[in-house]
Structure 1
Amino acid sequence: MVNYSLNSEQRDEVPNTYGFFVSPNELETEESVKASVARRREQKWLDMFARWSSFIESRFDEVKRRCRKARRREQKWLDMFARWSAFIESRFDKVKTRCRKGIPPSVRGQGWYHLSAAKYRHENADRNCPTGSVFNLYLTQTPTLNVLEDIKKDLARSFPDHEMFRDNGCGQESLFDVLKAYAVHDPAVGYCQAQAPIAAILLMHLPPEQAFWVFVQINEEYVKGYFSDGLMAVKEDALATELLIQRVSQRGYRLLRKLDVDPILYTLDWYMTLFSRTYRAPQLFRIWDMFFCEGVKVLFRLALVILRETLDVGPPDIVTKAHKCDNAMDLIALIKQTAKSLPFDVLLIKMDKLPLTDIDLAQACGQARQQLNSDLNTTNNRKTSSRAQAKKHK
């Protein structure tokens, strides 16, 4: 079983702002950035206090602006939630811009709840439910026994370095409830191990019932088919990624083909866990902000930028090392290592500038689907032919 932890190498005793246990050195680094910003803000206030009479008499608007600044971004989102339908219908570009800047932590959960349309699905489902809560109704039902056992095995493995899920933390019971409810909701899928970290991250931001409905939307609207038997949807997106690399980086594509790298080997972990094993808070949450707003193309864009940076246009030492690899596994390891080491803000900028349109993505996915179906038909025909020949020889 895989340990889905953002920092699986060590479990130190110092929780950071996001609830993850990190080493004291990591915490000091994180806090030093925040401290520099805080000191700058404090100095502005101290300067203002030194000239208080002047500010109050002639620059009161500046005082008011500084008082409001801490809550301004949150208030913008709250105002947007209050007029959500209007924003989605006529001002979606404004929503997208705000998501790319990052949803404020205090309203991030509600942002995901609205962006995913989970709020409306939740309300509609409960409106037609005789007990008033579909989620609570699911909790009274029991999926197949092996599903429950699989879920229980993974509870302790899901973010053991987070205070909610560490050592029978309060989040483990909620995580069990969300995963169990989904297994009842969609018995054909049941439970897949890669679902646990996704549900856990939702629970870091939302109460269990709302987290469940966002989880439903992820499974059924964003990455539909990712957790089904055969993983055909993931294989399709992996192949589409390879086809898109050919468009955005011929040099990178040639190297991948030269070493015969199967795209599923580097995309499976990224896509099935929505990059939750590659990035940690707050970077991961920023990715999810965009994902809930813009959809699965965010995963493609991020994957393509990582590949392009590693194999073609990134830091010269990394690109050189990539082209010196003489086997697929070494190259895959380098790609995954580079994903974690590239400056995150640079990745976001390059994602936005990547020469990739929605039409390009749709065409690549369609081409990948046709190719996989063709390969599947060929395989089935061979099996049928082999069975027929075996019977003939008998």
Structure 2
Amino acid sequence: MSFFSSIRQKAPFLERIAESFTPTMSRDEKFRLQYKLPNEEHIVDDTNTDITFTTPYGPHRKDEKRINDNGAQVTYVFSGKLFLTPHFLVFRDAFDQNSCVLILNISTIKRVERSPSQSYAFALLVTLYSGTQLLIQFIGLRNRSEQFCEKLKEMLKHNIPNAKRLPEFVESCYSDFLIQKNILRKKDIIAPKAGLGQHFKYPGQPDISKEKAKLRLWFEYYKENGENLAIIQNHTFQKLVRIGVPSRMRGEIWELCSGSMYLRFANPGEYGRLLEDNKGKTSQAIDEIEKDLKRSLPEYSAYQAPQGIQRLRNVLTAYSWKNPDVGYCQAMNIVCAGLLIYMSEEQAFWCLSNLCDIYAPGYYSKTMYGTLLDQRVFEAFVEDRMPVLNDYIVEHDIQLSVVSLPWFLSLFYTSMPLEYAVRIMDIFFMNGPKTLFQVALAVLKVNGDDILQADDDGMFIAIVKHYFQTLHESAHPDSPDSKYRQITKFQELLVTAFKEFSVITEDMVIHERNKYKKTIFENIETFVKKTQLRRMPKTFILSDKELSNIYDVFYQSVETHKISLGTGSSNMTFDVFVQFMGKFCDWAKPSRDDNDQVYKTQKQTFLRKLFNNWDSSKLGELTVNDVVLGLDRMTSPDLLEAMNYFFSLYDEDNDGQLQKDDVLQMSEGLLFLTTPWKTGKFVDLLTKKAIEDDIADEIVKETSIGQQASGEIELPSGVTIDEEKYKARQSERYLTAASSFLQRCFEYAEPLQLDKEVDLLDLSDDEGKSDEAKQAKKKKFASIVANAALDPTRPTVIDLATFRMVILADETYELFFSTTLRKSIHLEEGADDSGNNQVLKSMFDGIIADGRRVAERVRRRVDSVATNKSRAGSIETSTTTESIHTSETNNKMVDLDDFTTDHLEEHEELLQNSWLDVDETTDQSARQERKIEPMSSSLSEKEQDLIEFEA
């Protein structure tokens, strides 16, 4: 016994370990799931109580076991816990939590008073609308019981409006119809609306005598334990469900067990409003519904008639509008058709809602992740419970899911005859999803011997199909015992499922689902990604790796969309687009400049231009295809294409012309895009070339010409760079480019509309004036007409050719469109905010480590100096070097072309580099001078000292 005591003590610890590896639900979530309550319910308070209940009708005959010596009826007392939620009182017994379960809607309470008979304890006497009385005796501190009662009083007040709707709702329940007709003897009472079976008969042509017997058992149960919203569920309730629910009662029992009855009461008229509000609307889901309507249980006559088809259409359409994430999914029509045989449209609608959300989560979704997950769980159960059969299936490469997938997806409706499938549904709604696993395992167990003779999938399917078609036959036809011969295969299946496989519990199912959920979700996401990448539009610039990265970052940004679940919108709004671009583009990343209102406005304006340009649907949302096509155009290496695309962003009317306001907006956009270079955060090719030139010049100055000319030129082991100088130069260059851009745009602008005929020599109004005055007026008038840009009353425009001319006239903007802009978009490292940009120190380390370019510049300067000395020996080397530097400065366009041709492809990784991050608290002298250590150097200390310099 000590061993078991030790295990018992360790059990809580082991449970905590298990919970740490699996997702845990909150207390309220577990509570709602256990009792199938609506999502808005939560535990307000709970307390320990003893409950006694009496019904107003009681048994027709006195039960001797319930009569004491004085002839009074004995009532049972159940000890347990009472929970209070905003709309329910829930009691569960402490014995096994199944002997007495009461889910009482507070709206059914007619009166609450303190019990006078319990003077020694605090007790309440609760009277329900049906006359049933509950005696609640509180256990524990009186103060604690008083608090519970105060909260109950508050909930009763909130539920007064719902209580007014109770009589109308109760009339829709068949259990109330039985009581009213057979006990209260009301005349002219009409049976509530039910399913299609009332007119088209119920499946299987049930025996009338058996139906009456079952109906009598349920009638007796209602009299003793209440009905619909105030029913007590116990072991008798579960037995009655297992032996088979009468067809007329099945709809109410299904919605009672599934909890959909509580949803229907809480949402009066919502089903009708959904149909009315969306009448005449179309959607993809509705189109798919129309295709499947006539393929829904074709063996049942109602679905070959307009009445049955219309009911099915209404329910599926209403659900598609209620849950647009799901809309409509394969096999949903089969399940809904099965519900409508026993339920009204509204009952089936709410039952379908709870079935999709609670019983079969993810079964009916875009990715069908729930079905795939449960198939993996089922395979794990087969491997654990039937190892011999599992080994045989694996050995012969039989795909178990080919057979079992339809069982789970259609809830056995399409696998076995309807009269047996609905019996499975009875237990499914009472016991939950574990029922499907128990029945599926029982099917394999019963047919195990035959399956072990199957060689392939075809034989496996044929064996199971034949078994389902013969469920009505005797399971033991050759038995000498007549009782055994009367047992059908279906009865044998039920016994095997719920006796032998009763070990399959709800907790086991949840544990196995959590175990395989991550793997299944990853497989789904991988499959969806591959499929969508194959369907993407053709791109000319983006590589497969970049497309893959764009896809990942896109759906990481759209957090509401769950790829594996198939829920949420997969489109990107503008706010998400801003964050998305910040992960890829240097100029869109969050920075301290965002606090500047001017910069913030420029950023929002330009990104809005991009967003609107990429939005192909013009609905204010971007798809992943829109983003891919947009980025493909932005990263084009063709200079003309880059300028054309930028022009098109501001030419919103596509007339090929930009007016003054458009040009100003374009200038603001260029100011925003070039901010990282204007502020010195990054360097461009011109700055980099200037740095290399300065290094080469300094080497020439500090070293002997003869030494450099006689041997291989090598770089110094360490140099110091005045980064502030280059920052200032680059910033001034970009500001100058911006100013020149506006100036040239307005200088070369053309009038929007020119007069066709203008007589410049019309002097008719100048009679009496001197010749000089006439001549001056003629020149002034001709100047205004000829150059309309000077006339403020007449608008001017620039076209694409003018824009390109203005850009090409400035080396900074030309370089920006040809290289800088494209290299500022890092599509391979979009998920990393840091990108692939190196700080200034790393850039210089790269220059020093791969010093061939600088060394070549030094040699050219040395050769040039030697040549000049031979021609004019009086010229000093320093003067020659300075003149060469000045000459190259005056011919920047030529040098840029040569440099781009020679080194652009070789050194693409160094085209964009960030400046060395400077701490605000760093000393000013340290900020202006950084010593750069070489990445690799083979120079001696003496050689390093010779060529070390300071900028």
TM superposition score normalised by structure 2: 0.31
Aligned position for 1:388: 545
Aligned position for 2:258: 116
Contact residue 73 and residue 104 of structure 1 kept, 8 A: no
Contact residue 248 and residue 308 of structure 1 kept, 8 A: no
**Counterparts in 2 of 1:157 and 1:374: CA distance versus 1, 3 Å:** closer
Aligned position for 1:41: none
**Distance of 1:218 and 1:344 partners within structure 2:** 24
Is 1:290 aligned with 2:427? yes
Larger Rg: 2
* Aligned counterpart for 1:362 among listed residues 510, 520, 533: 510
Aligned pairs (5 A) from 1:163-174: 163-166=301-304, 168-174=305-311
Aligned position for 1:160: 298
Task: Provide, for residues 296-323 of structure 1, a one-character-per-residue CA deviation record: whole Å limited to 9, x for no partner.
Answer: 1111110011112222xxxxxxx2x422
Q: What SS does structure 1 have at the residue aligned with 2:319?
A: helix
**Distance of 1:153 and 1:234 partners within structure 2:** 22
Contact residue 239 and residue 263 of structure 1 kept, 8 A: no
Aligned position for 1:105: 247
**Distance of 1:272 and 1:122 partners within structure 2:** 25
Q: What SS does structure 2 have at the residue aligned with 1:325?
A: coil
Higher RCO, 1 vs 2 (CA within 8 Å, ≥6 residues apart) = 1
* Aligned counterpart for 1:326 among listed residues 449, 455, 458: 455
Is 1:74 aligned with 2:221? no
**Counterparts in 2 of 1:81 and 1:221: CA distance versus 1, 3 Å:** farther
* Aligned counterpart for 2:418 among listed residues 281, 289, 292: 281
Identity over aligned pairs, percent: 23
Q: CA deviation at 1:261?
A: 3.2
**Distance of 2:346 and 2:306 partners within structure 1:** 18
**Counterparts in 2 of 1:272 and 1:376: CA distance versus 1, 3 Å:** closer
Aligned position for 1:351: 497
Q: What SS does structure 2 have at the residue aligned with 1:156?
A: helix
**Distance of 1:156 and 1:377 partners within structure 2:** 33
Comparing 302-311 and 93-102, the one that deviates more: 93-102
Comparing 68-77 and 191-200, the one that deviates more: 68-77
Q: CA deviation at 1:387?
A: 4.1
Q: CA deviation at 1:121?
A: 0.7
**Distance of 1:302 and 1:70 partners within structure 2:** 24
**Counterparts in 2 of 1:258 and 1:184: CA distance versus 1, 3 Å:** same
Contact residue 330 and residue 364 of structure 2 kept, 8 A: no
**Counterparts in 2 of 1:101 and 1:377: CA distance versus 1, 3 Å:** same
Give the AA of the match of 1:72: R
Q: What SS does structure 2 have at the residue aligned with 1:161?
A: coil
**Distance of 2:287 and 2:525 partners within structure 1:** 36
* Greater share of helix: 1
**Distance of 1:86 and 1:159 partners within structure 2:** 33
Contact residue 241 and residue 426 of structure 2 kept, 8 A: yes
Task: Provide, for residues 5-55 of structure 1, a one-character-per-residue CA deviation record: whole Å limited to 9, x for no partner.
Answer: xxxxxxxxxx995257xxxxxxxxx78xx49x78xxxxxxxxxxxxxxxxx
**Counterparts in 2 of 1:390 and 1:163: CA distance versus 1, 3 Å:** closer
Aligned alpha-carbon RMSD (Å): 3.2
Give the AA of the match of 1:351: A
Contact residue 100 and residue 289 of structure 1 kept, 8 A: yes
**Distance of 2:264 and 2:200 partners within structure 1:** 32
**Distance of 1:376 and 1:288 partners within structure 2:** 29
**Counterparts in 2 of 1:113 and 1:360: CA distance versus 1, 3 Å:** closer
* Greater share of strand: 2
TM superposition score normalised by structure 1: 0.72
**Counterparts in 2 of 1:336 and 1:137: CA distance versus 1, 3 Å:** same
Q: CA deviation at 1:365?
A: 2.3
Contact residue 356 and residue 363 of structure 2 kept, 8 A: yes
Aligned position for 2:370: 233
**Distance of 2:254 and 2:260 partners within structure 1:** 8
Give the AA of the match of 1:357: I
Task: Provide, for residues 269-304 of structure 1, a one-character-per-residue CA deviation record: whole Å limited to 9, x for no partner.
Answer: 111111001122321111111011011111111001
Contact residue 251 and residue 343 of structure 2 kept, 8 A: yes
**Counterparts in 2 of 1:77 and 1:112: CA distance versus 1, 3 Å:** farther
* Aligned counterpart for 2:399 among listed residues 230, 244, 262: 262
**Distance of 2:414 and 2:529 partners within structure 1:** 38
Task: Provide, for residues 155-178 of structure 1, a one-character-per-residue CA deviation record: whole Å limited to 9, x for no partner.
Answer: 222223323222x34111111000
Is 1:139 aligned with 2:275? yes
**Distance of 2:273 and 2:530 partners within structure 1:** 47
**Distance of 2:200 and 2:286 partners within structure 1:** 32
Give the AA of the match of 1:145: S
Task: Provide, for residues 72-114 of structure 1, a one-character-per-residue CA deviation record: whole Å limited to 9, x for no partner.
Answer: 22304544562655524xx2x3322221111122211111111
Contact residue 77 and residue 107 of structure 1 kept, 8 A: no
Q: What SS does structure 1 have at the residue aligned with 2:445?
A: helix
**Distance of 1:272 and 1:382 partners within structure 2:** 25
Give the AA of the match of 1:301: Q
Unaligned residue ranges in structure 1 (runs of 5+): 1-14, 21-29, 39-67, 127-132, 312-318
Give the AA of the match of 1:369: K
**Distance of 2:255 and 2:530 partners within structure 1:** 47
Aligned position for 1:18: 202
Task: Provide, for residues 128-160 of structure 1, a one-character-per-residue CA deviation record: whole Å limited to 9, x for no partner.
Answer: xxxxx1101110215643322221222222223
Q: What SS does structure 1 have at the residue aligned with 2:302?
A: coil
**Counterparts in 2 of 1:378 and 1:285: CA distance versus 1, 3 Å:** closer
* Aligned counterpart for 1:87 among listed residues 232, 236, 251: 232
Comparing 266-275 and 321-330, the one that deviates more: 321-330
Q: CA deviation at 1:369?
A: 1.9
Aligned position for 2:464: 335
Contact residue 371 and residue 405 of structure 2 kept, 8 A: yes
Contact residue 241 and residue 263 of structure 1 kept, 8 A: no
Task: Provide, for residues 345-383 of structure 1, a one-character-per-residue CA deviation record: whole Å limited to 9, x for no partner.
Answer: 000011111242314333332333244246567879999
**Distance of 2:382 and 2:348 partners within structure 1:** 34
Contact residue 164 and residue 170 of structure 1 kept, 8 A: yes
**Distance of 2:293 and 2:386 partners within structure 1:** 40
Comparing 258-267 and 347-356, the one that deviates more: 258-267
Contact residue 396 and residue 455 of structure 2 kept, 8 A: yes
Q: CA deviation at 1:328?
A: 2.9
Q: What SS does structure 2 have at the residue aligned with 1:277?
A: coil
**Counterparts in 2 of 1:367 and 1:333: CA distance versus 1, 3 Å:** farther
Q: What SS does structure 2 have at the residue aligned with 1:326?
A: coil
Q: What SS does structure 2 have at the residue aligned with 1:282?
A: helix
**Counterparts in 2 of 1:228 and 1:377: CA distance versus 1, 3 Å:** closer
**Counterparts in 2 of 1:157 and 1:180: CA distance versus 1, 3 Å:** same
**Distance of 1:306 and 1:159 partners within structure 2:** 22
**Counterparts in 2 of 1:155 and 1:249: CA distance versus 1, 3 Å:** same
Aligned pairs (5 A) from 1:134-213: 134-140=270-276, 141=278, 144-166=282-304, 168-213=305-350
**Counterparts in 2 of 1:173 and 1:309: CA distance versus 1, 3 Å:** same
Comparing 150-159 and 232-241, the one that deviates more: 150-159
* Aligned counterpart for 1:253 among listed residues 365, 386, 390: 390
Aligned residues: 318
